[in-house]
C-alpha cells in the first residue's frame, strides 16, 4: 500500500491513470486489505477531507489513509502467496 500511496502522490492531478497494487495472498502486512486502487485524483480526494498524503506515507500508515478514502482492495485470504502485483491502466 505504501507503493500505491507514493504512486498516487507522483501522479497527482494526472487524468486517466489507475493503479492496483496488491498481494496475491489477500493481505498486505498485518492488515485485512490486499492493497489499494488509486488514480490521479486520489490525493485531491484526500486533501478535500483534510488528509495529508505525505504525513501518512512518512508515518507508514497507508492503510489508514486508504481506509478513509475507501480505496482499499479487500479480497480476504486467497490461500496462495505467489507475489505482489501492480497493474497500471492508462486511458
**Model pLDDT, residue 45:** 98
**Model pLDDT, residue 1:** 95
Full-model pTM: 0.92
- Over the chain (91 residues), the average pLDDT of each successive run of 10 is 97 98 89 96 98 98 97 92 92 92
The whole domain housing 63 covers 2-90
Q: How many CA atoms lie within 13 A of 34 on its CB side?
A: 22
**Model pLDDT, residue 3:** 97
**Model pLDDT, residue 73:** 96
Give which of 47, 60, 50 is closest to 5, Cα–Cα: 60
Q: What is the pLDDT of residues 20-32, one digit of tens each?
A: 999 998 888 889 9
What's the domain count of the chain? Answer: 1
The CATH number for 80's domain is 3.40.1480.10
Q: Which residue has the cell 488509486?
A: 38
Amino acid at each position: 500500500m505504501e507503493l500505491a500511496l507514493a504512486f498516487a502522490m507522483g501522479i497527482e492531478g494526472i487524468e486517466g491513470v489507475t493503479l492496483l497494487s496488491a498481494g496475491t495472498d489477500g493481505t498486505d502486512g498485518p492488515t485485512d486489505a490486499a492493497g489499494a486502487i488509486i488514480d490521479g485524483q486520489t490525493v485531491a480526494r484526500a486533501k478535500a477531507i483534510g488528509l495529508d498524503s505525505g504525513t501518512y506515507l512518512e508515518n507508514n500508515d497507508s492503510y489508514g489513509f486508504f481506509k478513509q478514502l475507501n480505496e482499499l482492495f479487500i479480497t480476504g485470504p486467497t490461500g496462495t502467496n505467489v507475489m505482489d502485483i501492480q497493474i497500471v491502466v492508462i486511458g
